[in-house]
Amino acid sequence: MPDTDLQTSPKRVYDSGADPVVARLLSEMELRGKSMIVTVFGDAIVPHGGAIWLSDLIRLMEPFGVGERVVRTAVYRLSQDAYFVTTKEGRRSFYALTQPAHLMFQAAENRIYAGDAVPWHEQWMVLVLTGALSRAERAAAVKQLGWQGFAQAGPNLLVNAVPSPRAVQQTLDSLGIADKVVEWQARGFPDKKKDALLQMVRDAWPIEALQAKYRRFLSLFGTAAQGIDASRPQSPERDAERAFVLRSLLVHAWRRIILNSPSLPLEIHPDPGLAIEATELYQDLYLNLADAADAHVAAVMAKGDYVTPDKDHVAAPAVSKRFGGLLDIQREKLKDLRVRKNSNDGWEYWKPG
């Protein structure tokens, strides 16, 4: 029996298959339903409380070609993996993040929406995985700490030059292994042993594979950027669902790079140019799409029928705080750069010069 409110869910007004920019991305990215749901949950649903009706999630996933059956199977499996806790209300299902999953999403968010790189002070966090860990505990530690940017410098040694100590401690506590891992703070001397340090980087960091991922990202979304007016934010009233789809695909591609690659300060990166270029493109596109995308999410999750998103919709505070608050800064700048025109949404944004 389907969820009751699926019978009254809004009709699709945006056809992603007819959009050449989005259709190309969907074709080349080879999405998997379960992984895409994790992206949408972290990027779009967590800022709105981290919980959603199943029917609304099905509605959000439609333009990605992820059908109702795939969504139901995926959320069941994610629940079995302790990502979601389920609440029933009649024939309707409500999915919310568990506390451990919330901590994992928060740790991932710190990297996915990081602000500008801060200077590296040649400090390292070193974790020693002791023999008290079981094989399963060791695997879980390497996996989850890897999402936080730790590189494996040896069989029992994890290192991170730009860690979040709080996130590390929360991860160790949630896995129940805090008393089985030794934590050290270390300082390097790159001026004295620069060649050895660079060799360690090559050994522990998959530099060539990472560079290839950045090139692919630039190829995919550099082309996509040509189909978006990069000089102004998208109109929530007119482009909300398209912005949501593009932003979700953007984050999905980025998290597959950033969460599967150890953190590496630019100061010791052998070739930081691609990383800088890809990061700038990612941030620019995200900020361009943020408010309109959030307007679509808010409209889908609102009680009652789907309504046309407001042209002046402002993203949820949790979204605005991403990238060190750059979205709020951008909005303030645009207040001084917009004039009333006879455009569809009533506003036109322009840049002087």
Q: What is the pLDDT of residues 171-223, one digit of tens each?
A: 999 899 999 999 998 887 656 667 777 787 888 788 888 899 999 999 999 88
Q: Which of 146-150, 250-254, 268-272 has the lowest mean pLDDT?
A: 268-272
Q: Quick check: is 109 in a domain?
A: no
Residue at which a domain ends, from 154, 187, 220: 187
Element (H, E) at 77: helix 68-80
Rounded Cα–Cα distance for residues 47 and 256 (Å): 20
Give the distance from CA 103 to its chain's centroid: 14
Q: Are residues 23 and 94 in the same domain?
A: yes
pLDDT of residue 346: 38
Let me know if residue 26 belongs to a domain.
yes
Most confident of 109-123, 256-270, 276-290, 295-309: 276-290
Task: Tell whether 172 is covered by a domain.
Answer: yes
pLDDT score of 237: 67
Q: Are residues 181 and 280 in the same domain?
A: no
Residues 175 and 217 in one domain: no
Give how many domains the chain has, as a whole number. Answer: 3
In a domain, 332, yes or no: yes
Let me know whether 277 and 172 are in one domain. Answer: no
**pLDDT exceeds 70 at position 311:** yes
pLDDT score of 269 = 82
Residues of the chain above pLDDT 90, percent: 45
pLDDT (tens digit per residue) in 97-120: 999 899 889 888 988 998 777 678
Q: Are 129 and 167 in a shared domain? A: yes
Q: What are phi and psi of 53, to 5 degrees?
A: -70, 145
CATH number for the domain harbouring residue 35: 1.10.10.10
Asked whether the predicted pLDDT for residue 353 surpasses 60, the reply is no
Whole domain around residue 50: which residue ranges? 4-100
In one-letter notation, the amino acid at residue 186 is A
Judge whether 138 lies within some domain: yes
Considering the domain architecture, whether residues 149 and 249 belong to the same structural domain is answered as no
Question: Is residue 112 situated within a structural domain?
Answer: no
Q: What is the DSSP code (8-state) at residue 44?
A: I
User: Which residues have C-beta within 8 Å of that of residue 130, sequence separation ≥ 6?
Assistant: 156, 180, 181, 182
**Do 179 and 252 share a structural domain?**
no
Sole residue written with tokens 């998290």: 255
Task: Answer yes or no: do 276 and 159 share one domain.
Answer: no
The average confidence (pLDDT) of the chain is 83
Query: Is 344 in the same domain as 211?
Result: yes
Whether 171 and 214 share a structural domain: no
Spell out the residues 6+ positions from residue 207 whose beta carbon is closer than 8 angstroms to its own. 201, 270, 271
- Prediction pTM value: 0.83
Per the domain annotation, does 131 fall within a domain?
yes
Residues 272 and 181 in one domain: no
Instruction: Assign 235 to helix, strand or coil.
Output: coil
132, two tokens: 């008290």
What 3-state DSSP class applies to 182? strand
d(CA 239, CA 232): 12
117: in domain = no
- What residues have CB less than 8 Å from 250, skipping those under 6 apart? 221, 224, 282, 285, 286, 289
142 CB contacts (<8 Å, ≥6 apart)?
129, 150, 152, 158
Say whether both 165 and 289 belong to one domain: no
Indicate the helix (H) or strand (E) that contains 318: helix 317-320
d(CA 337, CA 330): 11
Looking up residue 183, the CATH number of its domain turns out to be 3.30.70
Query: What is the reported pLDDT for 6?
Result: 44
- Separation of first and last alpha carbons in the chain: 59
Question: How many Cβ atoms sit within 10 Å of the Cβ of residue 72?
Answer: 16
Q: Which of 100, 132, 163 is the last residue of a domain?
A: 100
Backbone angles phi, psi at 348, to 5 degrees: -130, 135
